[in-house]
Amino acid sequence: MKLETIAVHAGGEPDPATAAIAPPIHLSTTFEHGPATEILHGYTYVRDENPTQDRLEAALAQLECARYGKPGQELVQLEDSGESRSVGMHTTHGRVASGERRAEGTEREKADPLGRDVTGKAREATTGALAFASGMGAAAALLQTLEPGSHVIFPEDVYVHVRLAQQDYLPNWRIESSVVDMSSAKNVEKALRPETKLVWVETPSNPRMSVTDIAAIVRIVRDKWRVTSGEWRDTGAPLVLVDNTFATPVFQRPLELGADIVLHSTTKYCGGHSDVQGGALVLRKRDALYEKLYHTRLVLGAVCSPFNSWLILRGLRTLPCRMERHAANAMAVALALEGQKGIERVFYPGLRSHPGHEVAARQMSGFGGMMSILVKGGWEDAVRVASRVKLFRNATSLGGVESLIEHRASAEGPGSTAPKNLLRLSVGLEHAGDLIEDLLQALGGGG
C-alpha cells in the first residue's frame, strides 16, 4: 500500500458503536473498570491511554515505519510482530498485566495491513508511536529517560528550545553534551565517547536548513560499537534520534535509514493548519525503550489531549497532498529568490547551491516547504524586508497552509545562534506566483 493510502486510512476504522466514518473524539478522562481495577474495555484513565490518541499513534506509526522509497514504490512492513510482549504497563493504579491485553490484539493486527482491529482499538502491531502534548514534551520525555553520567551529541543548528533544554536542564541532571556541526558526519565520530547514549539529529535543521547524512551517522555509531546485527541496543551503542518535523514521513524516512527514534512537532506539518499543538516519538518497535518512554509520559504527564489527537489525525489525512504542494511552492520561491539583488544566500536543500543538496537528494524524496534566506546587510535590513510583506504573515511556527516569515534572531532572543540577517520562510499552499510577487516587492524589486 502506498503512503497516500495509509495517510487516508490509518487509525481510521469506522466507530464500532455507530459505524461513523469520521473517528469519534472520546473526551472521557476515565473509563469504567472492575472492582479490583480490572480493565474492561482497554482503557482506564486519559493520561494512560485513550481511544482517540490510540488512533493517532497507529497512524503515525504506520506513516513513519512502513517502507516508502521514492514515489511509486510499494509500502511493506519492516518487520513482523513476533517480538515478546511480556513487558507490563504502568497505569495510575499500579502495574497491570497489560502484556496479555496487547498480545491478545496481535493476531488481529497482523491480519490487517492498516493495523486496525475489530474492537475499535487502532493498533499498529510492530511499531511504537507515542503522542505527546508538544514537540518539546516529546523531546523532554526522551531526555528524561537518560541516566546521570550519560553524554549526548547535539547538532550546532537545532531548534532553539532543544538547545535551551540542553543548556538549562541537562547539567542539572548530570548529563554531559557536545555540540557539533553535523553537516560532516566525521564531526560526530570525533565527539563520540564510551558514555554517549544519544545522538540528536535534526535534518533539515531549524532555521539554517543544514542537512545531516542520517545513514552515515548510523554507520559510524554501528562501526564504533561493532554492531553487526539488529540487536544493537544490547551493545550499549547510542541511540540515533532524528527530528523529522521539517521533512515529515512523506519526504524522509529516518527509521529506514537506521535511526532508532523519530521525533515530530506535530504542531507543524502533521497538524497542518496552525491550530493544534502536539508532538510524537516513533520507534521501530515496542521494545524496552518504548515502555520507558510510555512510563515517562504517563508519570510526568506530557500527553496529547483527545481533541488535539483528533485534529492531528485529521491533519495526517492530507499530509502527502499538502507536502507535495508545499515543496513545489518552496522550490519555485527558492529559484525565484536565488540571485536577487537584495539576497545574500537562499538555504533550500532543493537548490544545487545548497551545501547539503547531494545528501538531501539521496535521503529525501522531496525537499519540503521550509527555507531560510540571508538578506544582504544586517539585522535591520532583514527586519525591513519582513515588515514589507503583504501576503506572508510575520509569525512564528511553520507547516500550516498559510505562508509565514520570521526574523529568527528576534524570535529566539538573546543567545540566538541564527544569523542576524536570516529570515525563515514557511512556504504555504497559496499560488506560488503570488508568494514570489510578495517577496520580490518586499525586497524592493518590484511586484
Binding site for ligand PLP (CB under 6 A): 134-136, 159, 202, 206, 243, 245, 265, 267, 277, 279
Of residues 13 and 260, the one with the C-beta less far from ligand PLP: 260
We find the least distance from the C-beta atom of residue 294 to ligand PLP, in angstroms, to be 19
We find the least distance from the C-beta atom of residue 112 to ligand PLP, in angstroms, to be 31
We find the least distance from the C-beta atom of residue 131 to ligand PLP, in angstroms, to be 12
Of residues 122 and 262, the one with the C-beta less far from ligand PLP: 262
Question: Under the phi-then-psi rule, with left for phi > 0, alpha for psi from -120 to 50, and beta for the rest, what region is 303?
Answer: beta
Of residues 4 and 202, the one with the C-beta less far from ligand PLP: 202
Are the beta carbons of 387 and 410 closer than 8 angstroms? no
51: three-class secondary structure by DSSP = helix
We find the least distance from the C-beta atom of residue 96 to ligand PLP, in angstroms, to be 30
Give residue for cell 549526548. 152
CA atoms of 56 and 425, how far apart (whole Å): 28
Which pairs with CB-CB distance under 8 Å and at least 24 residues apart come from 3-6?
3/63, 3/66, 3/68, 3/75, 3/249, 3/250, 3/320, 4/320, 4/321, 6/59, 6/62, 6/63, 6/66, 6/75, 6/114
What is the chain's length? 447
Of residues 52 and 203, the one with the C-beta less far from ligand PLP: 203
Of residues 260 and 412, the one with the C-beta less far from ligand PLP: 412
Of residues 62 and 203, the one with the C-beta less far from ligand PLP: 203
Of residues 134 and 252, the one with the C-beta less far from ligand PLP: 134
We find the least distance from the C-beta atom of residue 136 to ligand PLP, in angstroms, to be 4
Instruction: Tell how strand 261-265 and strand 239-243 pair up.
Output: parallel
We find the least distance from the C-beta atom of residue 245 to ligand PLP, in angstroms, to be 4
Of residues 81 and 205, the one with the C-beta less far from ligand PLP: 205
In sign, the C-alpha dihedral spanning 354, 263, 139, 245 is positive
Per-residue burial over 26-46, b if 16 or more Cβ lie within 10 Å, else e, is beeeebebeeeeebeebbbbb
Closest CA to 355 of 209, 200, 179: 209
We find the least distance from the C-beta atom of residue 202 to ligand PLP, in angstroms, to be 6
Burial of 21 from C-beta contacts in 10 A (0-12 / 13-18 / 19+): exposed
CA atoms of 126 and 313, how far apart (whole Å): 19
Q: Mark out the alpha helices in 347-431 (DSSP H runs).
A: 357-363, 379-388, 408-412
Residue of closest CB approach to ligand PLP: 135
Of residues 114 and 312, the one with the C-beta less far from ligand PLP: 312
We find the least distance from the C-beta atom of residue 158 to ligand PLP, in angstroms, to be 8
* C-alpha separations of 51 from 109, 278, 331, 352, 358 in Å: 16, 16, 39, 45, 42
Cell of residue 104, nine digits: 491478545
We find the least distance from the C-beta atom of residue 265 to ligand PLP, in angstroms, to be 3
Closest CA to 78 of 230, 215, 218: 230
Of residues 77 and 166, the one with the C-beta less far from ligand PLP: 166
We find the least distance from the C-beta atom of residue 264 to ligand PLP, in angstroms, to be 8
